[in-house]
């Protein structure tokens, strides 16, 4: 059942990215590690998602595959927001943040919750 808790923590932490990205747009003049933002295996959830705690069975599930794909797209969208901000395209960065990024974030959260529901169902809860 730890997987359900881990997924919930990831949902919560990824929700905080929105405010971090808003701040990144405001602070676009400071050096920002865009490659680090783009790397979906470097955030806490990504380390867990790609790390040893999940079983081969978990990784073979369609829920895992969907979350993994959406998580990578989420990080790509976040990196693109920052790239736009750093290049001085503040309006475009905000448009992406409040457009595709929010959509991607929502799709990821929905997929994570669906994975949680699947795991709870398998555990008989």
Per-residue pLDDT, 14: 76
What count of other Cβ atoms lies within 10 Å of the Cβ of residue 78? Answer: 26
Q: Tell me if residue 55 falls in helix, strand or coil.
A: coil
Given a contact cutoff of 8 angstroms between Cβ atoms, the answer to whether 93 and 81 are in contact is: yes
Per-residue pLDDT, 123: 67
Per-residue pLDDT, 89: 93
Per-residue pLDDT, 125: 56
Name the stretches of the chain with pLDDT < 50: 1
Per-residue pLDDT, 1: 47
Q: How far is CA 91 from CA 20, 30, 82, 87, 106, in A?
A: 17, 18, 12, 11, 22
Per-residue pLDDT, 60: 94
Per-residue pLDDT, 61: 93
At residue 101's C-alpha, the angle toward residues 92 and 23, to 5°, is 65
Per-residue pLDDT, 93: 93
- pLDDT one-digit tens code per residue, 71-97: 999 999 999 999 999 899 999 999 999
């Amino acid at each position: 059942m730890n997987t359900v808790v881990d997924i919930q923590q990831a949902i919560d932490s990824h929700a905080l990215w929105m405010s971090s990205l808003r701040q990144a747009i405001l602070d676009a003049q400071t050096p920002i590690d865009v490659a680090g933002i783009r790397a979906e295996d470097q955030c806490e959830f990504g380390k867990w998602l790609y790390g040893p705690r999940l079983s081969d069975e978990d990784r073979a599930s369609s829920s895992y595959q969907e979350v993994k794909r959406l998580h990578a797209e989420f990080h790509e969208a976040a990196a693109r927001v920052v790239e736009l901000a750093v290049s001085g395209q503040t309006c475009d960065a905000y448009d992406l943040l409040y457009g595709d990024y929010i959509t991607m974030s929502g799709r990821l959260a929905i997929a994570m919750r669906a994975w949680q529901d699947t795991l709870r169902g398998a555990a008989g809860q």
